[in-house]
Amino acid sequence: MRKELPDWLKTAMPETAAAPKAIARTAREQAETLGLPGLRDEEWRWTNLRAIQRGEFTAPTGVGADIEPSVRLPLDNPLRLRFIDGVFEGVPNDVPEGLTLTALPDADEDTRQAAFSPTPAPSVENPNDALVTLNTAMAREGVVIDVAANAVIDRPIVVEWLDGATESVMSHPRVLVRLGQSSSATLIEHIETVGEQPSWRNSVIVSTIAANAVLTHIALGLDGARRLATERTFVSLERDARYHSHNVQLGGQMIRREYDIHVGGSGAHVDLIGLMMPRGKQVLDTHTRITHAAADTTSNEHYRTIADDAGRGIFKGRILIEEDAQRIQAYQSSNNLILSDNAEIDAKPELEIYADDVSCSHGATIGRLDEEALFYLRSRGLQLDEARGLLIAGFAQEVIDEIPLVELRDWLTERVEQRLGDRDTAGNETA
């Protein structure tokens, strides 16, 4: 059974939303009947929204203090798009040629229409989509990122989600990313909780990648003991387009992240790489759904979870190959490491294949640290703690190594090592 939409959420529905009027009105009606996903919804068996249900979050009142993230990512001249408690700070004024940035409410009707009409389209039957619908009904803030055909945007575009700046705030921002033919861009989500307050962000990113264009999308979920987030990314790819996704989740109380990827043109390729490290009582959950709707397309998915303390990691990866989509290669692996008796990991691959000429493989492993490898390292004189740390860091490193930005990769390597270094004193603290 769905959880009915709590009153505080009903009353928070805005008079004017960023979505075109008709879309917003429908979404509003649907949101009220859909409610929030509940425990009995299969897709929400492992992660529940009780903390949100009970949260009594309010909409942000306006731009808070001039808050900066606690860390500066090692990026070359980034274009920073700051959202403080979901409120967009505005577009920077030194935007390079080929790139157009527009605050969502300022965008024209067609653009706003596009921002709220993702492919694949969410359906009312799917409990996951209740949250997208809610976002559609509630979204007032957002940004549109347009990359012109043939433009190569070297500067990374960084969406900074700075949550928790003010008391118990919720936000429903929406981002539209459109890459023109043969263009390329790097989108980074820098996610952090900047205060002590609980927060809930229900964000949606809709992206379209035109023929032969390349989007690299890196999500970095950093500190934030009290962050609740439900994050959804829609991606649709045309011919020969490529989408490289790296999803690193370190912080947060409960993070549910979902990717819906529609591989709609032949020759298109998708990489989904992920690392989740729940500890304390964190719940870090990623669901991915890839639909191969065109022939000669490929996908490569590799997720790793390291769960410590009473942390909980969830990975569910679905790959759907449509009937006419022949000559598909789709690989998926999910490797998981459990470091404590109270930690838990659920990993579930799902393959649905309707074509006959496909090459697919998937596999999930869940294990503890390899005793033999520990013995090997100790037999070379390394202390037990160090040997453990090395093995855990090494496990994480294999997915970190796939991040294409060298400085960011090195920074993350260090960050993960630090995090492992204070593991013994971690207790219930998160991230």
Partner 1 sequence: MALLEIKNLHAVIDGKEILKGINLTINAGEVHAIMGPNGSGKSTLCHVLGGRDGYEVTEGTITFDGHDLLEMETEERAVAGMLLGFQHPVEIPGVKNIYLLKEALNAKREAQGLDEVDTFTFMKQVRELVASMDMDDAFLHRGVNAGFSGGEKKRNEILQMLLLEPKLALLDETDSGLDIDALKVVSEGINRMRGEERGIILVTHYQRLLNYVEPDFVHVLYKGKIIKSGDKSLAHRLEAEGYQEILEEAS
How many alpha carbons lie under 13 Å from residue 159 in its C-beta half-sphere? 28
Q: Does 365 bind partner 1 (CB under 8 A)?
A: no
Does residue number 381 form part of the binding site for partner 1 (CB under 8 A)? yes
For residue 93, give every residue at least 6 positions away whose Cβ sits within 8 Å of its Cβ, in sequence order, or none: none
Is residue 178 left, alpha or beta, with left meaning phi > 0 and alpha meaning psi from -120 to 50? Answer: beta
Part in contact with partner 1 (CB under 8 A); list of ranges 172-180, 195-203, 240-248, 368-376: 368-376
- Using CB under 8 A as the binding rule, whether residue 377 contacts partner 1 is answered as yes
C-alpha 253/C-alpha 282 separation (Å) is 5
- Give the residue, chosen from 51, 63, 101, 390, that forms a contact with partner 1 under the rule CB under 8 A: 390
Among 12, 353, 393, 426, interactor with partner 1 by CB under 8 A? 393
Asked if 380 is part of the footprint of partner 1 (rule: CB under 8 A), the reply reads yes
Q: How far is the CB of 378 from partner 1 (least distance, A)?
A: 4
Number of residues in contact with partner 1 under rule CB under 8 A? 24
Contact between 391 and partner 1 by CB under 8 A: the answer reads yes
**Closer residue to partner 1, CB minimum distance, 356 or 372:** 372
**Would you list the DSSP string of 77-126?**
S-EEEEEETTEE----S-PPTTEEEEEGGGS-HHHHHHHT--SSPP-TT-
Q: Is 374 exposed, middle or buried (0-12, 13-18, 19+ CB in 10 A)?
A: middle
Of 360 and 373, the one with the shorter C-beta distance to partner 1 is 373
- Pick between residue 54 and residue 380 the one whose CB is nearest to partner 1: 380
Taking the complex as a whole, the smallest distance from the CB of residue 399 to partner 1 amounts, in Å, to 10
The residue count of the chain comes to 431
Question: Which tokens sit at 427?
Answer: 């207790």
Q: Taking CB under 8 A as the rule, does residue 398 contact partner 1?
A: yes
Residue 115 near residue 107 (C-beta atoms within 8 A): yes
Is residue 383 a contact residue for partner 1 (CB under 8 A)? yes
Decide: is 376 part of the binding site for partner 1 (CB under 8 A): yes
Q: Is 412 in the site for partner 1 (CB under 8 A)?
A: no
Tell me the three-class secondary structure of 365-382, residue by residue.
EEECCCHHHHHHHHCCCC
Assess 378 for contact with partner 1 (CB under 8 A).
yes
Helices assigned H by DSSP within 331-378: 371-378
Count of alpha carbons within 13 angstroms of residue 398, beta-carbon side: 14
**Residue 379 within binding range of partner 1, rule CB under 8 A:** yes
Choose among 282, 74, 247, 251: nearest CA to 162. 251
Q: Is 418 in the site for partner 1 (CB under 8 A)?
A: no
Q: How far is the CB of 302 from partner 1 (least distance, A)?
A: 13
> Considering only 75-83, 104-112, 285-293, 382-390, which stretch makes contact with partner 1 by CB under 8 A?
382-390
Select the residue interacting with partner 1 from 39, 71, 121, 384 (CB under 8 A).
384
- Angle CA 167–188–329, to nearest 5: 125
What residue ranges bind partner 1 (CB under 8 A)? 370-373, 375-384, 386-387, 390-391, 393-398
